[in-house]
Amino acid sequence: MCRLGRYEIFAKKEVGVYHVYNRTVRKSFLHGIDPYTGIDYSYRRNRFRDRMEFLSKYLCVDVLSYAIMSNHWHCVLRNRPDLVQKLTDREVAVRWLSVLSRKRVPKKHRGKIQESEISKIVNDPKRVEELRSRLSNISWFVRLMCQTIARECNIEDDCTGRFFEERFKLNRLLDEADVLACMSYVDLNPLRAGLADSLEDYQEVSIGERLRTLEDDQVDSSNWLAPLELSSEVDGKKVRVAGKKATNSLRTTAEPQLRRGCLPMRLEAYERLLWHLALESRPELQANEALTKQKLQTPIYLRGETINIAQVAERNMQFERRCKTQLGKHACRVVRERIAARAAADQQSSTATGLGQVTTRTQS
């Protein structure tokens, strides 16, 4: 049975939350060490996250959570057509030009946006409305994100063609229960895969970034993520908003009063929920020093009602069954063998150069 087209799922004129994910082709790696070729792609670690952060400053799309694994990625995104309608025509033009490549701009302008470029857009009402729609369109967010990553990785791998699969997958999350289950599924990807033993251990996941910037005395680097809490009060009690510095600072995407949170629960409660769910799949994590008795026994509330952890765990399993894929069915062995051969040749060349230098020194 064919899945629905994105135009049937994505409502561009309504604020909605969506689970977006995709994986690479030919067994390509977003980061980490390729066991087949032995090539270390660790230098790519921050590339995906930095691109998301950059785009979130200019496009009216909120990033609620993300996880960047070695060969696939997950994001929970929210489109904000309500924000894009508040932008002036000039703001629309500047934002759009800011996310485009400036390589074709004459060197004398040093990549800066010129007034002539802005005027060309502003004086064309149809173009303005088209770009206004794109600024809150999740498809365009993913397109601008993945195109840059794919281009850079293909150059490094000496390949052409697709780096990611043909179509990224998009599913709408219909209610808070769906959002909670999907966010927790995304945040627990590294623990579930055995790549980390603590929520803070894995760099390329949103929960780690939130927890690392929880303390007020730390530099807040998560100001681009949507704040977890919906407001300053949860269940009638004042809460400590994660990323408070970011909330009070000026952001390109939206003024602080226009920012929306993710869930009506505190970050501490969300962290406890994640630990409960992590223990479902990895019971050995009970030995973790971060798991105190209070963390596991304190009730977790959502809108004043105790969360049924078993139900959330079942929804997690549904997301896992939907997203689970086997790495390798679509592998391009010829490409990978060529990459491995090139890496081996480079290593032999560097070894020969080193031996030559040693011989020269000995003779002299």
For residues 107 and 114, the answer to whether their CB atoms sit within 8 Å is no
Report the b/e string of 184-193 with b at 16+ CB within 10 A.
bbbbbbbbbe
> What pLDDT was estimated at residue 165?
82
Domains detected in the chain: 6-80+136-219+228-236+257-323+331-340 (3.30.70.1290)
**Top-confidence residue, 354 or 236:** 354
User: Looking at the whole model, is its pTM more than 0.85?
Assistant: no
> pLDDT digits over 205-224, tens only?
999 888 887 654 444 446 78
Nearest CA to 30 out of 142, 177, 157 is that of 157
Quick check: 245 pLDDT over 50? no
For residues 242 and 213, the answer to whether their CB atoms sit within 8 Å is yes
> pLDDT digits over 63-97, tens only?
999 999 888 899 999 999 999 999 999 999 999 99
> pLDDT digits over 269-310, tens only?
898 899 888 888 888 887 777 777 777 778 887 877 888 888
Nearest CA to 267 out of 228, 238, 303, 213 is that of 228
For residues 256 and 282, the answer to whether their CB atoms sit within 8 Å is no
Quick check: 122 pLDDT over 90? yes
Mean pLDDT of 170-186: 90
Q: State the Cα–Cα distance between residues 195 and 47, nearest whole angstrom.
A: 19
187 pLDDT band (50/70/90 cuts)? very high
